[in-house]
Every structure is written in C-alpha cells, then in structure tokens.
A = this chain, B = another copy of it.
Amino acid sequence: MEDPTDRHAEKMKRIKAARDEMMLSKTEEKGLVIVHTGSGKGKSSSGFGMVMRCIAHGMPCAVVQFIKGDRDTGEKTLLRDRFAKECRFFVSGEGFTWETQDRERDIAAAQNGWRIAQKQILDPQIQFVLLDEINIALRYDYLDVDEVVDFLRNDKPHMTHVCLTGRNAKPELIEIADLVTEMTLIKHPFRSGVMAQRGIEF
C-alpha cells in the first residue's frame, strides 16, 4: 500500500508544478486600477494595508479621503505622524453626507478631492494612490463617473496603481478596473449591539 506521506508529497508536487508554470505566464507589469466595494468590512483597511506595503517597498504614496474626514481615524494619525515623508495625505470631505446635510458643500468637497486626486496620480513621484470612499461621491453624482473613468483609462501613468474604495461601485468603474474585490458582509457585531471600536472600525 502506498504511504500516505508519499501521496501527499506527490500531490503537492503536482500543485507546485502547475502553479510555477502558471506564474511563468504572468509576465506583464502594469499599474493597476483596483476597486474595493461591497457592504462588508475591509474596503478601506485593505487599501491602507496596501499603502503600508508600498511604503515598505519604498514606493511613495498618496491618499485622498472623500466623504470621511471629521473623525480622527487611526490610519490618518499614523500616516500623518509617522509617514509624512512616504505618503501624502489629503482629506476632501467633512464627514459622511448625512452629517453635513448640505449637498452643495458635499459636491464642492468631492470636486476638490478629485482635483487633488488627478494631480497626485499624474505626479511621476507617486506610485500608489488610494481614493478612499470615492465610490460614495460617485454614487451620489457628486463626481461624474465618465470623467473619472476617462481619466483612469487615458491619463493615468502606465505604472501607477490607483485603488478606489467604497460600497456601490459604479458598473462603469468595475468595467475598466483590473482587480475588483467585493467585501461581502456575512456577520456584523452591530447587529448584536456592539459599538464601533477603535482599532477595528476606525
């Protein structure tokens, strides 16, 4: 009878060979358009996780926060206090839209954020740009999705990565993106009366 340990090694060897071959066919390098959407947690946190990875690899970053902005989040504190040299940090919004109750002001803030975003994306020094919660601004039509899509497709430098987060990503954006993840909510502690907690939610 065959030894199960040998069988395991054999199986893993086959998986490794298939994987190595697959990786060899992946030769293109390009700056990606990345979208994190869905109603689950992790859209912004994984955007910030990627910022941290880029910083670790010596790739200068920029973050533009749309909509959010009134609260001192951990990521803002950390990037401003500890990584001011490696990452530029901009806040365009003044809180979620139901906090301001002023559509004109929200539109002006979003448009301002988009002007900053374009400048950062075009800056040859910057290799990764996080547009945090921009999908909310697009969803409420504070920004024109055609203009954003057109810019990402035609004006973004080839090697620059741009990550756009927020629920309800527009189909036009998903269409031109290279990497799209939907964060799906399976279980959330809000439902059982647990409050938003530092470190986890902000």
Question: Is the CB–CB distance between A42 and B181 below 8 Å?
Answer: yes
Measured between beta carbons, the chain B residues less than 8 angstroms from A179 are 41, 187-189, 200
A28-B101 CB under 8 A given contacts A42-B46, A180-B186, A187-B180: no
Question: Is the CB–CB distance between A13 and B101 below 8 Å?
Answer: yes
Binding site for B on A (CB under 8 A): 5, 8-9, 12-13, 15-16, 19, 22-23, 25-30, 32, 34-36, 38, 40-50, 52-57, 59, 73-75, 77-78, 81-82, 97-104, 127-128, 161, 174, 177-190, 192-200, 202
Question: Is the CB–CB distance between B161 and A42 below 8 Å?
Answer: no
Chain B, residue nearest A187 (CB) = B180
How far, in Å, is A57 (CB) from chain B's closest CB?
5
How far, in Å, is A187 (CB) from chain B's closest CB?
4
Measured between beta carbons, the chain B residues less than 8 angstroms from A195 are 23, 26-29
Measured between beta carbons, the chain B residues less than 8 angstroms from A5 are 103-104
In order of increasing CB-CB distance, the 7 nearest A-B pairs are: A45-B49, A53-B74, A56-B74, A42-B46, A46-B46, A180-B186, A49-B49
Measured between beta carbons, the chain B residues less than 8 angstroms from A16 are 98-99, 101
